[in-house]
A and B are shown apart, each in its own frame.
Chain A
Amino acid sequence: MNLPKPINKKYLSLQEKFYNFFVTITGISIFNWEFLKQVFIPPYEIGEIKKHMTELGVKTFPIVSIMGIIIGLVLAMQSFPVFKRFGATDFLPGTVALSVVRELGPVLTALIFAGRVSSGIGAELGSMRVTEQIDAMEVAAINPFKYLVVTRVIATTMILPILTIYVVFLSILGGYLGVIINDIMSFEYYKNAVLGTIEFGDLIPGIAKTFVFGYIVGMVGAFKGFTTEGGTEGVGKASTTSVVMASLLILLIDTVLVKVTIWLWPTV
């Protein structure tokens, strides 16, 4: 794998920044291609993948739990007065559930995940690069791309959908809290209102896109880390730029995917 090198100095002219931007785009495309080439070739490093999934799950569990409850709670509290004004509080559970399932759950979880995980992978692989641990694998005839990159990208791709489903579930519960703070509504009623509103067509695209987001988070972090240059300073840079890049890509691709799903499921 031969990646083009960006210009590495403190102050860059506009042209150089532009050049580096294209170097990054090219680099990450080559990186993706390499991933696709290697992912189906054994050894599959199942042990490593499991280890990373567990680690990622444990690491992000507290923050996404809090976030899940709060999204639903705040959404319901904010919307309640408005719905009340129109005498439409019956529609509140369904509306909360729909927003959470279709958009807020997947995107907010992905953004939090990016903040926590992209930076972590960037820093981890970055420090392995600058302390020659990646070179050490290479001279021992171990494929570092497979062992370090492919396993992490698979892990992030698989774990984010699971986290998202969990967040969506908690948000809907949080929504109930938001409702009963303001009004009397039985949980039974709330549950039926939610289940009566959400359709299959709402669930699938929301969850499906989190696979893409998970892939982005792993890919960007791994790319930035694996290509780190310039010692400890480079590691810090790899870590922060991964978060920025992963978050931007998530928002950008979400916009495209929203358009695509509306086009594919026009009835909803």
Chain B
Amino acid sequence: MVMADGVIIKIENLTKSFGKNIIFNNISLDVKAGENLVVFGRSGTGKSVLLKCIIGLMKPDSGKIFIYDKNITSLSLKELNVLRKRTGFLFQGAALYDSMTVRENLEFTLRRVRGLKDDVEPKLIETLEHVSLVDAIDKMPSELSGGMRKRIGLARSIITDPEIMFYDEPTTGLDPITSKEISELILELQIKLKMTSIVVTHDLICAKIIADRAIFLKDSKISYEGKIENLTDSEDPFLKNFFSTEIIKSSGDINV
């Protein structure tokens, strides 16, 4: 299942554009099993689009994307769904189902993905404990704050015990303490469950906690790649500028 060298996600020569707006120009990327990869990039560089391409929500113009050893760009919906059941996706805006309570949001996802018929209450509580929101179980999404929605979104995406997780800005809009807790949760999931993750974030503190490796998207390319210290300590003027400002504004803006 896993490809050579323990690679679990492989992007080959991906190109994607919206009309004249070229988002990715021929990028390639490998993610190893059990690795936490952090994706940086300024707003609008295509971080969310990258995640959506990998999970098959958006079709690339050209290029191949492998999850395990399957090229998802040429799978039938049925085959793709088999893969999707083994992955989790946290949307930038949380994407909670408005018409359902928190409990129903989690239960609906868990039952559909895992096909469970028996009592799932203990699992719901356990997952909500991870994000410290057990009290919110009977609330509607509209009664939650932006940061709470984000955490429920996170709970909903990990409740199915995915092998691969995609996080789109998991800590944006959270206070520094909660933000740190969520980062530690992501790390814990990696260590305990051997989860592989791609994490889009602006939050440098979070990135420093979780990242094994980081990439930086710029000018439709992966312009930098390497250990996170190498990026943050880089003498490159652009990176220097980016990270000095990002520290100050990290976990400042809400994107829900």
For the residues of A in contact with B, the DSSP-based class is helix
Interface check B109, CB cutoff 8 A = yes
Which of B84, B85, B93, B160 meets A131, CB within 8 Å? B93
* Count: A-B pairs, CB below 8 Å: 45
Which of A124, A128, A138, A141 meets B57, CB within 8 Å? A138
Which of A124, A128, A132, A141 meets B91, CB within 8 Å? A132
Instruction: Tell me whether B97 and A136 are in contact (CB under 8 A).
Output: yes
Instruction: Tell me whether B89 and A128 are in contact (CB under 8 A).
Output: no
Which of A131, A133, A141 meets B113, CB within 8 Å? A141
Q: Nearest Cβ distance between residue B168 and chain A, in whole angstroms?
A: 10
Interface check A256, CB cutoff 8 A = no
Instruction: Tell me whether B55 and A140 are in contact (CB under 8 A).
Output: no
Instruction: Tell me whether B98 and A139 are in contact (CB under 8 A).
Output: no
Q: A141 — nearest CB in chain B belongs to which residue?
A: B81
Instruction: Tell me whether A133 and B96 are in contact (CB under 8 A).
Output: yes
Instruction: Tell me whether B112 and A139 are in contact (CB under 8 A).
Output: no
Instruction: Tell me whether B112 and A131 are in contact (CB under 8 A).
Output: no
Within 8 A of A (CB), among B48-65: 52, 55, 57
Q: Nearest Cβ distance between residue A108 and chain B, in whole angstroms?
A: 30
Instruction: Tell me whether A135 and B112 are in contact (CB under 8 A).
Output: no
Q: Which residues of B contact A136 (CB under 8 A)?
A: 89, 91, 95, 97
Known A128-B98, A140-B113, A142-B112; judge A135-B84 contact (CB<8 A).
no
Interface check A157, CB cutoff 8 A = no
In the bound assembly, the distance between CA atoms of A133 and B149 in angstroms comes to 13
Residue of A128, A136, A139, A142 most packed against chain B (CB within 10 A): A139
Per-position 1/0 for B130-166, Cβ under 8 A of A: 0000000000000000000000000000001000000
For the residues of B in contact with A, the DSSP-based class is loop
Instruction: Tell me whether B112 and A141 are in contact (CB under 8 A).
Output: yes
Within 8 A of A (CB), among B82-96: 82, 84-85, 87, 89, 91, 93, 95-96
Q: B166 — nearest CB in chain A belongs to which residue?
A: A139
Instruction: Tell me whether B98 and A135 are in contact (CB under 8 A).
Output: no
Q: Which residues of B contact A131 (CB under 8 A)?
A: 93, 95, 98
Q: Nearest Cβ distance between residue B94 and chain A, in whole angstroms?
A: 9
Interface check A151, CB cutoff 8 A = no
Instruction: Tell me whether B85 and A135 are in contact (CB under 8 A).
Output: no
Instruction: Tell me whether A135 and B109 are in contact (CB under 8 A).
Output: no
Q: A139 — nearest CB in chain B belongs to which residue?
A: B89
Interface check A127, CB cutoff 8 A = yes
Instruction: Tell me whether B93 and A132 are in contact (CB under 8 A).
Output: yes
Instruction: Tell me whether A133 and B57 are in contact (CB under 8 A).
Output: no
Q: Which residues of A contact B91 (CB under 8 A)?
A: 132, 135-136
Q: Which residues of A contact B87 (CB under 8 A)?
A: 139
Per-position 1/0 for B99-115, Cβ under 8 A of A: 10000000001001100
Q: Which residues of B contact A128 (CB under 8 A)?
A: 97-98
Which of A124, A127, A139 meets B84, CB within 8 Å? A139
Instruction: Tell me whether A133 and B85 are in contact (CB under 8 A).
Output: no
In the bound assembly, the distance between CA atoms of A6 and B84 in angstroms comes to 30
Instruction: Tell me whether B85 and A132 are in contact (CB under 8 A).
Output: no
Q: A132 — nearest CB in chain B belongs to which residue?
A: B95
Known A128-B98, A141-B81, A141-B85; judge A135-B113 contact (CB<8 A).
no
In the bound assembly, the distance between CA atoms of A138 and B80 in angstroms comes to 10
In the bound assembly, the distance between CA atoms of A127 and B99 in angstroms comes to 11
Q: List 21 A-B contacts (CB under 8 A).
A: A128-B98, A131-B95, A131-B98, A132-B93, A133-B96, A135-B52, A135-B57, A135-B95, A136-B89, A136-B97, A138-B84, A139-B84, A139-B89, A140-B84, A140-B89, A140-B160, A141-B81, A141-B84, A142-B109, A142-B112, A142-B113
